[in-house]
Amino acid sequence: MNKKTLIGIAVAAASLIAGPAKAEEIVLKVAHFWPATALSQQKILEPWCAKIAAESNNRLKCQIFPAMQLGGTPAQLIQQAADGVADIVWTLPGYTAGRFPSVEVFELPFIARGAEGASRAAWEYYEQFGKKDFEAVKPLAFHVHDAGHIHNNKREIKTLADFRGLKMRAPTRLTNRMIAHLGATPVAMPMPQTPEAVSKGVVDGYVLPWEVIPTMKLHEMTKFHTEMDPSQPSLYTTFFTIAMNKAKYESLPDDLKKVIDANSGAELSAQIGRAWDESAPAARKLAQDRGNQFHTIPASEAGAWAKVGDRLAEEWVKEVTAKGYPGQEMLDSARASIAKYSK
């Protein structure tokens, strides 16, 4: 047996002892604007990351950067995903006004009943009408939050007249338009800036769903809360996306692409919506326990409020139709999908 053969046998034996080479570990940078204690990270992102790690034999892992730790502002998150600053982001498309007109329909007043059904509808709607707007990224989920409510420090809001003179924070173009139609002065502001604005009196109040309020300790600095009767659709909701950098996704081996694909889409969207729905009662109770004042708009008076939604829907259809979108078809489709999936 010659020397080369002996060396070859030795190398082969060593490789058998060492076992197969460890597959490369891919770490995904996941960025969002919420604090690390928020539902979005603890009940959605962390379990999602654990699931893709398990299904990839730990070849896919996440490094989560909450509270804009990668820099920039919440409005820049979607571009960070497009540019590869982050591999995955969770954000509101509506923070970049005018860039994603197709999905604004989900932020029209009184269009949704519960986050789970509307979130499943959001993915279905995206597949029909939203792909062009989101072609710079690979969407993994679309969802809305549970019912949004009115919160302020000036007075109880019982009628539309009570909005006069109030400065109210809202997150997106359409929610700010809603505030103006209701009679208050809208102040556009990303969620992370809201607590400071409330504490300093920059705004008198804000619209938010319940889950966010204790996360940001807003229940400790707010006196009055106004909700719609539970038999009525939500006053408003906000549209979110979890989106991935396209180049990062394309760089993955086929088996890891399958792991991402199996953990994105309609089911993930509905799961996120369900988590928001389930979070509301406990968050609301914290405001109750502080002795904050609550008022419910009765179903008998909801008609006057709903007219605000009708006017805003009309305006939105005209605006997006002028931009080349099938506005009325999009509105009708969104309403039909939400009705189909809502309980």
Which 3-state string (H, E, C) describes the chain?
A: CCHHHHHHHHHHHHHHHHCCCCCCCEEEEEEECCCCCCHHHHHHHHHHHHHHHHHCCCCEEEEEECCCCCCCCHHHHHHHHHHCCCCEEEECHHHCCCCCHHHHHHHCCCCCCCHHHHHHHHHHHHHHHHCCCCCCCEEEEEEECCCEEEEECCCCCCCHHHHCCCEEEECCHHHHHHHHHHCCEEEECCHHHHHHHHHCCCCCEEEEECCHHHHCCHHHCCCEEEEECCCCCCCCCCEEEEEECHHHHHHCCHHHHHHHHHCCCHHHHHHHHHHHHHHHHHHHHHHHHCCCEEEEECHHHHHHHHHHHHHHHHHHHHHHHHCCCCHHHHHHHHHHHHHHHCC
Cβ proximity of 229 and 148 under 8 Å: no
pLDDT at 7: 45
Cβ proximity of 259 and 60 under 8 Å: yes
Report whether pLDDT(239) > 70. yes
Q: How confident is the model at residue 2 (pLDDT cuts 50, 70, 90)?
A: low
Q: Residue range 82-108: average pLDDT?
A: 97
Closest CA to 192 of 75, 273, 108: 75
User: Rounded to the nearest 10 degrees, what angle do helices 115-125 and 327-341 cross at?
Assistant: 140
Report whether pLDDT(202) > 70. yes
The one-letter code for the residue type at 171 is P
CATH of segment(s) 148-236+283-341: 3.40.190.170
Q: How confident is the model at residue 258 (pLDDT cuts 50, 70, 90)?
A: very high
pLDDT at 343: 75
Q: How confident is the model at residue 1 (pLDDT cuts 50, 70, 90)?
A: low
Cβ proximity of 38 and 215 under 8 Å: yes
Report whether pLDDT(18) > 50. no
Each residue of 73-89: pLDDT tens digit? 999 999 999 999 999 99
Q: What is the rounded CA–CA span in Å between residue 267 and residue 120? A: 7
Given the structure tokens 């928020």, which residue do they identify?
A: 38
pLDDT at 36: 97
Q: In what order do the strands lie in the sheet with 224-228?
A: 185-188, 167-170, 205-209, 148-152, 224-228, 293-297
Query: What totals of helices (H) and strands (E) does the chain contain, helices first?
Result: 13, 11
Q: Residue range 245-267: average pLDDT?
A: 98
Q: Residue range 93-122: average pLDDT?
A: 97
pTM of the model: 0.92
Given the structure tokens 């605006």, which residue do they identify?
A: 319
pLDDT at 10: 44
Question: pLDDT higher for 262 or 9?
Answer: 262
> Which residues, 6+ apart, have CB-to-CB distance to 97 below 8 Å?
172, 173
For 46, other C-beta atoms within 10 Å of its C-beta total 15
Q: What is the mean pLDDT of the chain?
A: 94
Q: Residue range 158-180: average pLDDT?
A: 97
Cβ proximity of 94 and 174 under 8 Å: yes
Strand partners, 29: 63
Least confident of 20-29, 88-97, 193-202, 333-342: 20-29
Q: What is the rounded CA–CA span in Å between residue 333 and residue 129? A: 9
Share of the chain above pLDDT 90, in %: 92
> Which residues, 6+ apart, have CB-to-CB distance to 314 below 8 Å?
none
Report whether pLDDT(336) > 60. yes
Report whether pLDDT(13) > 80. no
Q: How confident is the model at residue 121 (pLDDT cuts 50, 70, 90)?
A: very high
Share of the chain above pLDDT 70, in %: 93
Q: Residue range 35-59: average pLDDT?
A: 97
Within the chain, all domains assigned CATH 3.40.190.170 are found at: 24-145+238-278, 148-236+283-341
Look up the CATH architecture of domain 24-145+238-278.
Answer: 3-Layer(aba) Sandwich (3.40)
For 265-339, strand residue ranges (E) read 293-297
Q: Residue range 39-68: average pLDDT?
A: 98
Burial class (CB in 10 A: 0-12, 13-18, 19+), 333: middle
pLDDT at 107: 98
Each residue of 274-298: pLDDT tens digit? 999 999 999 999 999 999 999 999 9
